[in-house]
């Protein structure tokens, strides 16, 4: 068996699952269950498969450049395998060309693509010749089209981002979408403290550091084989939560004895954060319309041993109708709204290909309904925080501005937009803090 064959085969299988509609992180998890890879192998497979997903458009350009058939005419299984080979040749500097080609061709030989193994070999070898001669695909000189091609983003989205932040910032954001995301944890302060847990990780030879400006944030500096096998998982000492997301719950400043609503709660990282900040001594109602996602939240509550949260399967836009007793009931409300997720493209590489302007417009309507429906549940002296993991202003500050204009009795206390940055870790996030005048 050629060295590295299994890692390439697993990466290709992840691409096949993603192309069938499975989310990239779920595809990775499903495929890895069928193998016994070490942590270095898993890091390689994650980079290779997720890199191929991120750079789909860029890799298709190279197929069109080096093959007699365009990427649109390639059988899908062949197209994804060519991406596996091309990504190694074009984006992974430490992989020798010969190893990239031989291991990728071996996948074709040992699967139902064996009849096309010669085609894979020819296209990849032709690519090497083009690389060595610096003969690259022709790319438009137009800045937007060039950014779309080189950073592999749908052109409609590049146009939107440039419209939002300008071409210079758009280039930085596009590069940030294609970097390896950080793995961040939030310490469960109900059970441990940051320094104690850092020492525990160090004793297990796990490289981790505290995240500045976060009270309980830790960054893992290496990729674990299984996040659930890290020290403290079964004891509920931590949860996985991006550093930008960890900034949201403290905006509500939850206190002991307060009544708090998390209107779109599952899978629960912010719900459990609210409980933690209130020392597990508030009355927290976690609402979500997905029973499956609520089960994940319930599992997290049990693992973290949090008692102050009750869950309710319901659509938050209907809460006033189904439970009118909750009108003017809550001291604090969090609406972590369903959104386009553009701020998390580095973490969710497949999202860029499934998103559309129509989907964003539908989400905006939902976000507006959520705000209008949930506001009556807030006490007159209460606080509401609206948050998203997107950088789209129509879902964020523009939406909040319209909401304030329509509801003259409320005011904006603060708002903040975090943009993804190539040279800094963390997702893109937005939050607005609102209260009655």
Residue 388 bridge partners (DSSP): 430
Residues 288 and 263 sit within 8 Å (Cβ to Cβ): no
DSSP secondary structure letters along 245-262? GGGTGGGG---TT-EEEE
Residues 332 and 273 sit within 8 Å (Cβ to Cβ): no
Q: Helix crossing, 117-132 with 76-91: angle to 10°?
A: 30
DSSP secondary structure letters along 390-427? ---GGGTHHHHHHHHHH-TTEEEEEEEEEPPBTTB-S-
Say which of 52, 264, 339, 389 is annotated catalytic.
389
Token reading at 288: 């979500």
13 contacts: CB under 8 Å, gap ≥ 6: 31
What is the distance between the alpha carbons of residues 430 and 392, in angstroms, rounded to a whole number?
9
Token reading at 13: 């299988």
CB-count exposure of residue 267 (10 Å: 0-12, 13-18, 19+): buried
Q: Which helix (H) or strand (E) holds 378?
A: strand 378-388
Q: Which helix (H) or strand (E) holds 35?
A: none
What is the distance between the alpha carbons of residues 386 and 31, in angstroms, rounded to a whole number?
36
What is the arrangement of strands in the sheet containing 217-220, beginning at the earlier edge strand? Answer: 208-210, 217-220, 183-187, 238-240
Is 389 noted as a catalytic residue in this protein?
A: yes
- For residue 432, report the phi and psi dihedrals to the nearest 5 degrees: -125, 135
Catalytic residues, by residue number, are 389
């Amino acid at each position: 068996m050629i060295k590295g064959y299994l890692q390439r085969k697993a990466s290709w299988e992840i691409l096949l699952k993603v192309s069938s509609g499975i989310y990239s992180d779920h595809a990775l998890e499903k495929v890895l269950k069928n193998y016994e890879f070490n942590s270095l192998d898993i890091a390689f497979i994650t980079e290779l498969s997720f890199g191929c997903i991120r750079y789909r458009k860029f890799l298709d350009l190279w197929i069109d450049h080096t093959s007699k058939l365009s990427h649109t005419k390639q059988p899908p299984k062949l197209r994804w395998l060519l991406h596996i080979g091309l990504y190694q040749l074009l984006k992974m500097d430490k992989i020798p060309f010969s190893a990239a080609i031989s291991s990728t061709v071996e996948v074709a030989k040992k699967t139902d693509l064996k009849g096309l193994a010669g085609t894979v070999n020819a296209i990849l070898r032709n690519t090497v010749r083009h690389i060595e001669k610096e003969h690259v695909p022709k790319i438009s000189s137009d800045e937007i089209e060039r950014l779309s091609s080189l950073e592999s983003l749908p052109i409609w989205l590049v146009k939107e981002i440039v419209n939002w932040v300008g071409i210079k910032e758009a280039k930085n954001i596009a590069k940030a979408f294609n970097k390896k995301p950080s793995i961040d944890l939030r310490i469960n302060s109900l059970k441990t403290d940051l320094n104690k847990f850092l020492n525990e990780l160090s004793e297990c030879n796990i490289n981790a550091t505290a995240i500045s400006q976060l009270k309980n944030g830790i960054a893992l500096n290496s990729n674990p084989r299984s996040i659930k096998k890290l020290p403290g998982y079964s004891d509920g000492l931590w949860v996985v939560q991006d550093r930008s997301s960890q900034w949201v719950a403290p905006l509500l400043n939850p206190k002991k004895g307060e009544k708090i609503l998390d209107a779109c709660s599952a899978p629960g990282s912010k719900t459990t954060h609210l409980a933690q900040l209130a020392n597990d001594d508030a009355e927290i109602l976690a609402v979500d319309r997905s029973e499956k996602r609520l089960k994940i939240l319930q599992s997290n509550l049990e693992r973290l041993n949090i008692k102050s949260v009750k869950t309710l399967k319901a659509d938050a836009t209907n809460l006033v109708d189904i439970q009118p007793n909750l009108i003017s009931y809550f001291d604090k409300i969090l609406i972590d709204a369903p959104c386009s997720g553009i701020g998390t493209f580095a973490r969710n590489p497949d999202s860029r290909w499934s998103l559309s302007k129509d989907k964003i417009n539908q989400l905006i309507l939902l976000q507006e309904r959520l705000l209008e429906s949930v506001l009556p549940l807030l006490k007159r002296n209460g606080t509401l925080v609206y948050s998203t993991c997107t950088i789209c202003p129509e879902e964020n500050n523009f939406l909040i501005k319209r909401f304030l204009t329509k509801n003259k009795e409320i005011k904006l206390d603060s708002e903040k937009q975090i943009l993804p940055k190539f040279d800094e870790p963390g997702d893109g996030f937005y939050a607005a803090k609102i209260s009655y005048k």
